[in-house]
Amino acid sequence: MENKDTHETKLPIRSTGTSITKNGTQVAKTTTELPDKFRISDIKCRELIAKATEMLNFSYTPYSHFKVGAALLTKGGKIYGGCNIENAAYGPTNCAERTAFFKAVSEGELEFAAIAIVGGANGKIRDFCPPCGVCRQVMREFCDPESFYVILARSEADYWVYTLEELLPMSFGPENL
């Protein structure tokens, strides 16, 4: 179904029975009825969140104890998990999102649809865990800002979907060189 009101895709949606339209009106929706313009289903979002949550178990954080898990969906339907990996020298620490991207790219994947991210102190998810600026830039290298989705979740049933463009506006990417 075509939706001519394309600018609505700039706005985040949330899963828990609510979506927010352009004028801020909240519209009741079931959790399986994300708007058609979002080319990802609620079921797929939940699957990614579940995988990201599973990845918290592998998070290596002896210093901060702040654990993050990510699940990256390729356009071909494969899912790559990632966790944050700290280092005694701090600088070499890698975020969960970049771990997932680098795993995928190192196996030949270059086209991505979405990433789910969860995290929290001691691996307990208390709030949304947005990606850091460095990870947003890495996403920008491989993803279309308008159609790549970043799913921030507090649980499988409580999440927001953003486009990369929303999280990294007016960005610098490969086509700028």
Q: Cβ 117 to Zn ion, closest distance in Å?
A: 9
Distance (Å) of CA 83 to CA 16, 56, 141, 148? 26, 6, 20, 20
Does position 150 bind Zn ion by CB under 5 A?
no
φ/ψ (deg, to 5) at 117: -135, 135
C-alpha–C-alpha distance, residues 113 and 75, integer Å: 5
**Subset of 75-104 contacting Zn ion (CB under 5 A):** 95
Does position 56 bind Zn ion by CB under 5 A?
no
Buried-exposed string 94-110: b where 16+ CB fall within 10 A, e elsewhere: bbbbbbbbeebbeeebe
Q: Cβ 134 to Zn ion, closest distance in Å?
A: 5
Does position 73 bind Zn ion by CB under 5 A?
no
- 19 vs 163, beta carbon nearer Zn ion: 163
- 33 vs 141, beta carbon nearer Zn ion: 141
Catalytic residue among 8, 97, 109, 165: 97
Q: Is 54 a catalytic residue?
A: no
Distance (Å) of CA 44 to CA 51, 103, 106, 112, 116? 11, 20, 24, 14, 10
Q: Cβ 57 to Zn ion, closest distance in Å?
A: 19
- How many of the chain's residues bind Zn ion (CB under 5 A)? 3
3-state secondary structure of 85: strand
- 95 vs 150, beta carbon nearer Zn ion: 95
Q: Which of 27, 110, 121, 132 binds Zn ion (CB under 5 A)?
A: 132
Q: Cβ 139 to Zn ion, closest distance in Å?
A: 10
Does position 135 bind Zn ion by CB under 5 A?
yes
C-alpha–C-alpha distance, residues 34 and 36, integer Å: 6
- 52 vs 95, beta carbon nearer Zn ion: 95
Query: DSSP assignment, residue 60?
Result: B
Distance (Å) of CA 72 to CA 5, 76, 91, 174? 28, 11, 24, 20
Positions annotated as catalytic residues are 97
Residue ranges that bind Zn ion, judged by CB under 5 A = 95, 132, 135
